[in-house]
Amino acid sequence: MEINLLEQIVIPIIKILFIAHLLIIGVMAMIWSERRVSGWMQDRLGPNRVGPQGLLQPIADGIKFLFKEDLIPNHVDKPLYVLAPAMLLVPAMITIAVVPFGSSITIPGLENPILLQIADINIGILFILAITSLGVYGVVIGAWASNNKYSLLGGLRSSAQMISYELTLGLAIIGVLMLSSSLSLRTIAVEQGAYPWKWNFLIHFPAFLAFTTAMFAETNRLPFDLAEAEQELVAGYHTEYSSMKFAIFFMAEYMNMIVGSAVVVTLFLGGWHFFGLENVGGEGSILAGLISFAIFFIKTGIFLFVFIWVRWTLPRFRYDQLMNFGWKFLLPVTLTSIVVTGTLWVVVKENKQLWIGIGNVVAAFIVVAIVAGMLAMDNNSKSAVQSTPAAAPLRGLDAVE
Amino acid sequence: MTADQILFFIFGGISLIGAIAVISFRHPIYSALSLIVTFFSQAGLFVLLGAHFVAAVQVIVYAGAIMVLFLFVIMLLNLGTLSAKGVMTGKLKGIAIVLGILFAAQGIYIAANVFKDTEVGSPEAIERAAALADNPIETYDIGVLLFRDYLLPFEVTSLILLAALIGVIVLVKRENRVEN
């Protein structure tokens, strides 16, 4: 096996360094924009003292975190307590490796065009699901090692939530995979083409909504942030963490959001495509590569804004509502979406995408109506049998199991 | 040594160390985490053999899902550190010794019969592994095997899983009724 030093080692390392730093800068930008946008939404200013428009605030925060005393409480399980933040951060960082952030650049003299992606592996989406499923350990271990009842409760809530919504996350993409018949994220993005009406979010609209919702739950963001519900659990699984360790938990959360947005953009919103703008200057030219990267960047940024928007708009779910929503609404909707997509794909001969899009939405409405009707009937019969006030908390327990 | 071989020894070594750590740690949480390390490095070994899909499924199912449930159970039961004596006392010790000897005998028998023709690390073996790695098993091939060639066994397996699922629901429901 001959190793081409430039193409197989130098260029990948440059790509990795670039993306890793972009991710960290992205986290800082997110922290800044979250605080500014929330200020804007609540009709106040937000941080605007450090640097122009307060842009350097995240750096000041970072310096503060670094210079704080690194406190390790006496009652914790020390090795795991130290390990937990890293167990959350590392999966968050490496999932970006398979996300294509632009088309490709052809440079004369090199054998292959440079893909704007760290690794184009043929099981890309499975890789992402696999690595995100490891993220739950950081939460569970951090919660357990803290040896604090609030931490443990927060950790258990969070992991139960992550496991429940992981199913929706996995099932929601199956329709997309069926139509593009590939697991590679690059192929999925290319298949969608340049025009928004051919993108997956229209063809698989219910799955798109389910995937996005599940992603909010996976990243522990409002309205699904029960793991750190301040009023109930102090700060949830990172109650006992301070200084840089706490900052790492925080960074991991924001990185998950960024990677999640990038994945949604790739799977449902056409990746780096936008009305053929990504081919300005000829396919494979440096200009086209940069433009495609910019398009991807802007799309991801818009989606990240939605994250912030939702956080400062919606109130938190109750725990039984969360579980009911995940298991009784999202899961049936995604399962039906798979059946409908598969059936229409075989039955319909012309305009497949249009019919699948319509069929998915209709089926989703029917499923939601049926489930809502069943839940209403269930509630009626329950309240008829047990009119004691004790019935309400018990129903919550049912949902947990 | 090629890069593949170096990686093989790294992943193989880590998975062995993890496996030994599983039975060496006195605290069940540490054991469970070591088992995750073993599963993960085994996924690395699958990648080296070109079985990318199997590697991803290994991580999703074993490292991602099953071990989380293990951790849950350990945490909820609040299992403490094992005492210095351990759990191997009296009759258990005798059974353990007998089973251990049987297991070792099996291992030796397999090693002697399967590996006697192909020396580990021999040129042919390396060639075969390299051929596998160069032609990764596509997800498509696995789909064809599962849903066309072996459809009946696949469906039977899923029925067995369904039966287990229904069984769990029935068991849980019964307990609830008693509580109410």
Work out the pLDDT band at B159, boundaries 50, 70, 90.
Answer: very high
Contact A243, A70 (CB under 8 A): yes
Provide the number of CB pairs (under 8 Å) joining chain A to chain B. Answer: 70
pTM for this model (two decimals): 0.82
Residue of A183, A394, A401 lying closest to B139 (CB–CB): A183
CA pair distance A213, A306, nearest whole angstrom: 12
Higher pLDDT, B174 or A137: A137
B64 near A CB under 8 A: yes
One digit per residue, the tens of pLDDT, for chain A of length 401 reads 456 777 778 888 888 898 889 888 889 889 888 888 888 888 888 888 887 888 888 888 888 888 888 888 888 888 888 888 888 889 888 888 888 888 878 877 777 777 888 888 888 888 888 888 888 888 888 888 888 778 888 888 887 888 888 888 888 888 888 888 888 888 888 888 888 888 888 888 888 989 998 888 888 777 777 766 666 677 777 777 878 888 888 888 899 899 989 999 988 888 888 887 777 777 777 888 888 888 888 999 998 998 888 888 888 887 788 888 888 888 889 998 899 888 888 888 888 888 888 888 888 888 888 888 888 888 777 666 554 444 444 444 444 44
Please check whether residue B54 touches A, CB under 8 A.
Answer: no
Q: Give dist(CA A113, CA A124) in Å, integer.
A: 19
pLDDT at B68 over 90: no
Interface check B59 vs A, CB under 8 A: yes
Say how far apart CA A319 and CA A317 lie, in whole Å.
6
- Here the tokens at position A65 are 């975190």
C-alpha dihedral sign at B136, B141, B143, B145: negative
Interchain pair A401, B180: CB under 8 A: no
Beta partners for residue A281, in sequence order: none
> Which chain A residues contact residue B33 at CB under 8 A?
80, 137, 141
CB of B157 within 8 Å of a chain A CB? The answer is: no
Candidates B2, B29, B40; nearest CB to A144: B29
Interface test mutation site (partner B, options A2, A90, A140, A187, max chain B beta carbons within 10 A): A140
B87 interface with A at CB cutoff 8 Å: no
Shortest Cα distance, chain B CAs vs residue A109, angstroms: 25
- The token duo for A61 is 């925060």
Q: How confident is the model at residue B18 (pLDDT cuts 50, 70, 90)?
A: very high
Q: What angle do CA A114, A115, A118 make, to 5 degrees?
A: 115
Chain B residue at shortest CA distance from A184: B139
At B19 the pLDDT is: 92
The more confidently predicted of residues A42 and B178 is A42
In the block, residue with structure tokens 């690390």: B121
Residue A343 has which token pair?
């059936």
Using an 8 Å CB-CB cutoff, list chain B residues near A140: 68, 71-72, 75
Distance of CA A57 to the CA centre of its chain: 25
Which residue's structure tokens are 């790492």? A248
Give the Cβ contact number of residue A237 at 10 Å: 33
Give pLDDT, residue A135: 83
Measured between its terminal Cα atoms, the distance across chain B in Å is 66
Question: Exposure pattern of A140-170 as b/e (b: 16+ CB <10 Å)?
Answer: bbbbbbbebebbbbbbbbbbbbbbbbbbbbb
Q: What are A104's strand-pairing partners?
A: A115
Structure tokens at B10: 């790294």
Which of A19, A27, A22 lies closest to A307, judged by CA?
A: A27
Residue of A77, A85, A75, A92 whose CA lies nearest to A241: A85
Chosen from B139, B142, B176 to mutate, greatest number of chain A CBs within 10 A: B139
Q: What is the distance in angstroms between the Cα of B70 and the nearest Cα belonging to chain A?
A: 12
ipTM of the complex: 0.76
CB pair distance less than 8 Å for A137 and B75: no
Q: What is the pLDDT of residue B166?
A: 92
Cis amide linkage into residue A47, ω under 30° from 0: no
Per CB-CB distance under 8 Å, the chain B contacts of A144 are 29, 71, 75
Nearest-CB residue to B172 (from A123, A166, A401): A401
Which residues, at least 6 apart from A126, have a Cβ–Cβ distance to it below 8 Å? A183, B53, B56, B57, B60
The H or E element that residue B61 is part of is none
Query: Could you tell me if A214 and A165 are in contact, meaning their C-beta atoms sit under 8 angstroms apart?
Result: yes
pLDDT at residue B15 in the model: 92
Residue A67 is which amino acid? F
Alpha carbons within 13 A on the beta-carbon side of A45? 5
Which pLDDT value is given to residue B155? 92
Closest chain B residue to A400, measured at CA? B172
Q: What is the arithmetic mean of pLDDT over B127-141? A: 73
Residue B53 in contact with partner chain A when CB distance is under 8 A = yes
The kind and range of the H/E element at B3 are helix B3-24
- Yes or no: say if A344 and A355 are a contact pair by the CB < 8 Å rule: yes
Which residues does chain B have within 8 Å of residue A133's beta carbon, measured at their own beta carbons? 59-60, 63-65
B6: which chain A residues are within 8 Å (Cβ-Cβ)? Answer: none
| Amino acid sitting at position A331 | L
* Residue B77 vs residue B150, higher pLDDT: B150
**pLDDT score at A78:** 83
Instruction: Give chain A as a 3 state SS string.
Output: CCCCHHHHHHHHHHHHHHHHHHHHHHHHHHHHHHHHHHHHHCCCCCCCCCCHHHCCHHHHHHHHHHHCCCCCCCCCCHHHHHHHHHHHHHHHHHHHHHCCCCCEECCCCCCCCEECCCCCCCCHHHHHHHHHHHHHHHHHHHHHHCCCHHHHHHHHHHHHHHHHHHHHHHHHCHHHHHHHCCCCHHHHHHHHCCCHHHCHHHHCHHHHHHHHHHHHHHCCCCCCCHHHCHHHHCCHHHCCCCHHHHHHHHHHHHHHHHHHHHHHHHHHCCCCCCCCHHHCCCCCCHHHHHHHHHHHHHHHHHHHHHHHHHHCCCCCCCHHHHHHHHHHHHHHHHHHHHHHHHHHHHHCCCCHHHHHHHHHHHHHHHHHHHHHHHHHHHHHHHHHHCCCCCHHHHHHHHHHC
Q: Measured between beta carbons, which residues in chain A are less than 8 angstroms from residue B138?
A: 122
Q: Which of B37, B75, B138, B175 to mutate to test the interface with A (most CBs of A within 10 A)?
A: B75
Q: Which residue has the tokens 């592994």?
A: B129
* Three-point CA angle B10, B106, B93, nearest 5°: 95
Give the pLDDT mean for B120-143: 72
B126 touches chain A (CB under 8 A): no
Of A123, A129, A398, Cβ closest to residue B139 = A123
Nearest CA in chain A to B74: A144
Q: Burial level of A357, CB count in 10 A (0-12/13-18/19+)? A: buried
A70 touches chain B (CB under 8 A): no
